[in-house]
Chain A
Amino acid sequence: MLRNTLKLPNSILYGIIQRYASTLIVIEHNNESLTPTSLHSISAAKAIGGDITCLVAGTKCKQIADAVSKIDGVKKVLFAENNIYKGFLPESLTPLVVDLQLKMKYTHILATSSSFAKNLLPRIAGKLDVAPISDILEVKNENTFVRTIYAGNAVTTIKSSDPVKVISVRATSFEMAKEGLSAANIEELAATTTPSDDVIWESAELSVSERPELTSAKIVVSGGRGMKSGENFNLLYKLADKLNAAVGASRAAVDAGYVPNDMQVGQTGKMVAPDLYIAVAISGAIQHLAGMKDSKCIVAINKDPEAPIFQVSDYGLVADLFKVVPELTEKI
């Protein structure tokens, strides 16, 4: 219809649509610092085209809004500081985003895939009656995106017909946006909801680690069931410390109680794509491979030469980990 009335060639029409694309990015932070993986979604928004607005909501977030305003490509930063955002509950954040969407009519709402975004974005989409799109790895155009299904064993291209696309972005598939030359405008938003006792955030039990964060580490050392105990993970910690690496684990190692769940790499855990992934005593089940097979270089150490992990590893060493991991740590 529009094309017929205006009689514009496709390329110009496409340009108009591009210009009118506008993306709202929900920034993740912990009220003290910005979650760096949050910045990957800015690169995805750049690939979509159009203006980029970032939303920072929390109990204390002016400083974070300042930091986000300096990121290259960000046109505007909105921030909402209020105690009702304690715990970043989707029940309190959703009305804020939905209210903004109704006023500003963004074409895209994005966040980087994380437990925060996975919890929040589909609720926003549900309120807007649109189909959310999870964990994209590529932007084809403003309506068409690429994601994986079946634990990364198939890649699907999908096209959305919704007026606003609510999308989570796989961090490891997009560059992290960097600081630019100038700062974007910052505006404060008023809260849209009143306190409610529907959900009360009580506490968090977070793992404390000096090592790099798993999803953004350049090198990851992971252990599986073959580690045999939690104490034996010390062998991996020593190796990781020498490499300045993060430590991950397979589901088997988590279920056996060797390490906490937030270290799990795989279909249902974290997706990582470091430069170097060292899989120690991990057989390489489909579900684990889903979380790490985009790593640049995969090293497998396993005593079973038939282990499926050797089918994806660049360098495989068939050996007893208890002998070779200490040797590796010493010789590196």
Chain B
Amino acid sequence: MISVYYFGAIALILIGLYAILVKKNLLKILIGLSIMETGVNLLLISIGYVSGKSAPILSEGIGPSQAVDPIPQALVLTAIVIGVATTAMALSVAILIYEKYGTLNVEEIRRLRG
């Protein structure tokens, strides 16, 4: 029986991939990219989950043995920031494309050929 977390995360990745492959509007493609990144982050965080343990912060009553794996949380924190930076970069390029081409339809943005 596959865990619901894994199933959900992989479903999100596939939904994002589907949007990137099928949609024609550039902004919808970028939304797909964001959804895919969210799915990857969820997958990473669910790998570190240990059933019944609490957040990995040392405080009263919670020792090192009662916490979930802290490493994936550090990884996800980094990956979220990277994802936001990529999205910001992509959106600024999308603005530039709209200024130069007057459209966001990927089938009409075709000046570079060969």
A complexed with B = no
Query: Which residues of chain B have a CB within 8 Å of any CB of chain A?
Result: none
